[in-house]
Amino acid sequence: MKRILIEETPQRIGEKVKTAGWVQSCRSHGKLIFIDLRDKSGILQTIFLPDLKPEVLEIAKNIRPEWVIEIVGIIKKRGEGVENKKIETGSVELAVEEIRVLSEAKTLPFPIDNDGYQIKEEKRLKYRYLDLRRQRMKNNLIIRQKAANFIRNFLTEKGFVEIETPILTKSTPEGARDFLVPSRLQAGKFYALPQSPQQYKQLLMVAGIEKYFQFPHVFRDEDLRADRLFEHTQVDIEMSFVEQEDILSMAEEMTTDLVENIFHKKIQEKPFPRITYAEAIKKYKSDKPDLRKDKESGELAFCWVIDFPMFEILEDGSIDAVHHPFTSLTDEDLKKFKEMSVEDLRSAKGKKELLGFKAKQYDLVLNGAEVMGGSIRTYEREVLKKTFEVLGHKPEAVEERFGHILEAFEYGVPPHGGIAAGFDRLLQTILNEKSIRETVAFPTATSGVTSVMDAPSSVSDDQLRELGIKIVKKD
């Protein structure tokens, strides 16, 4: 007999069926034994009548919560007045004929019949496979899949092509520390895990793909907090022959449809308000303003922040890109940038001018959290090369680290731009979860330890020797 899911049982009244799952609860009422059975689709009440075979009743008496069992029996309609309207299968129950214990379970280290917020994160992540039995966590993973499928279908219908880019790539300055991977075949050299697919997606525009997207895993070795992980999932989008307005309109349509069709939540204001970076800082003292009129109403307040500065001067006097070096300047500032020499731009007077240069950069902010960001890209080879030099890279270092993309830009590059969403953070904010870890199956804790696996861990001397690596203790 083939197993059926619990959600199918209301359509199987009078039929003999086989179900299997975890024991949600056990209780006895006189000579009757009730076991609530749980699988991925729901919960079903099963009843053991006193006229069953003694061996079946004996097994039932010894069953404990979270054991995995298989049951065969008849689906019966529950009497009027004893239905359980709190569950989808509350109108039926299974009258047991046979039972088999598939595996036993120790007492769980914490309860899973509540929301779990009161349990310490370290403990929940250590036993994440148990924490994911919690209905709230299961629902988060299910809606995550629905959201990903919705975005994938939305973009595919608009002519985007989903393309995967490499995980083992080259270390380039992207704004955070790289995670490095040593090469065995080329001793002394390292791959880097991508902080974003930035250069690959621009190379895909050179390749003529024109509309690209993917759900890449990206990696950043930075301090962890409630909305940040070492590795996270992006929704990465790039388009050719577009202006900023094209990207904002597409992203806003996608986000609005996602929120209303998948999450069934209300958006406070449509179209999304647009605020310049200068206005946001002046009025809200933040480039991630929270525009909610009532933070208790559950509404989602989106806004676009635009006209970001292109450059910033760090405390040590060095120049950095606010977004990243591939971001395009506004047309007026691009003209000035081309006219000035690298030396003039890096001078004291030039640095003051740089602070006034604006970029074609935009962020989508939701309830005070940045959930998407992107820019129109620089596609002129000499402008990109000059940008790297203004940021302090020597010409020979520019060729060494970025020669591949500079060479590609010699073969006909379309104007292009894009946007990327931090998918985990987007879900966290829409679901109003306090931590990004509530939207990921096996996240890294704030201590940097990967859930369940206890990574990072030591490796053998043989492995290090093969890679030509020696561990040096810090002072």
Domain with CATH 3.30.930.10 in the chain: 126-308+359-379+414-461
Q: Are 30 and 72 in contact (CB under 8 A)?
A: no
pLDDT the model gives residue 29: 87
pLDDT the model gives residue 224: 84
Q: What distance in Å separates the CA atoms of residue 133 and residue 388, rounded to the nearest whole number? A: 49
pLDDT the model gives residue 80: 86
Q: Which CATH number fits domain 126-308+359-379+414-461: 3.40.50.10800, 1.25.40.10, 3.30.930.10, 3.90.1170.20?
A: 3.30.930.10
pLDDT the model gives residue 223: 87
pLDDT the model gives residue 176: 79
Q: Which residue has the tokens 């060729």?
A: 399
Tokens standing for residue 118 = 């009161």
pLDDT the model gives residue 227: 87
Model pTM score: 0.93
* pLDDT tens by residue, 395-447: 888 888 899 999 999 999 999 999 999 999 999 999 999 999 999 999 999 88
pLDDT the model gives residue 397: 87
Q: Are 94 and 71 in contact (CB under 8 A)?
A: yes
Question: Which residues, given as ranges, of the chain have pLDDT below 70?
Answer: 173-175
Q: What distance in Å separates the CA atoms of residue 160 and residue 250, rounded to the nearest whole number? A: 12
pLDDT the model gives residue 413: 97
pLDDT the model gives residue 475: 73
Tokens standing for residue 448 = 């940097």
Q: What distance in Å separates the CA atoms of residue 64 and residue 12, rounded to the nearest whole number? A: 27
pLDDT the model gives residue 171: 87
The rounded Cα 310 to chain-centroid distance in angstroms is 27
pLDDT the model gives residue 107: 96
Q: What distance in Å separates the CA atoms of residue 346 and residue 391, rounded to the nearest whole number? A: 8
Query: What residues contact residue 127 under an 8 Å CB cut-off, 6+ apart?
Result: 108, 109, 110, 452
Could you tell me which residues are beta bridge partners of residue 309? 358
Domain with CATH 2.40.50.140 in the chain: 6-103
Percentage helix, strand, coil for the chain under 3-state DSSP, each rounded to 5? 30, 25, 40
DSSP state string for 10-44: GG-TT-EEEEEEEEEEEEEETTEEEEEEEETTEEE
CATH fold of 6-103 reads OB fold (Dihydrolipoamide Acetyltransferase, E2P) (2.40.50)
Q: What distance in Å separates the CA atoms of residue 344 and residue 357, rounded to the nearest whole number? A: 14
**What are the φ and ψ backbone dihedral angles of 191, each rounded to 5 degrees?**
-85, 165
236 CB burial (10 A radius; 0-12, 13-18, 19+): buried
pLDDT the model gives residue 175: 65
pLDDT the model gives residue 225: 84
pLDDT the model gives residue 389: 94
